[in-house]
Amino acid sequence: MSPTCEIEGIVLSEKPIELKGAIVNTYQAVGLAKRLGIIVRSTSEEE
């Protein structure tokens, strides 16, 4: 299995309840975060 597995063709509702309980890998989490407008900062950036 490739470490760059993408979630293709996902359709999310306004309140993306489709993701509740989802188990994703690191690469998929990054893609979902971008799509949801989530900004992820490392601890060193917070200081």
Q: What is the pTM of this model?
A: 0.61
How far is CA 23 from its chain centroid? 10
| pLDDT tens string 11-38 | 888 888 888 998 988 888 888 898 889 9
**Top-confidence residue, 9 or 3:** 9
Residue numbers of the domain that contains 4: 1-47
| In contact, 2 and 25? CB cutoff 8 Å | no
Structural domain count of the chain: 1
How far is CA 6 from its chain centroid? 10
| In contact, 6 and 29? CB cutoff 8 Å | no
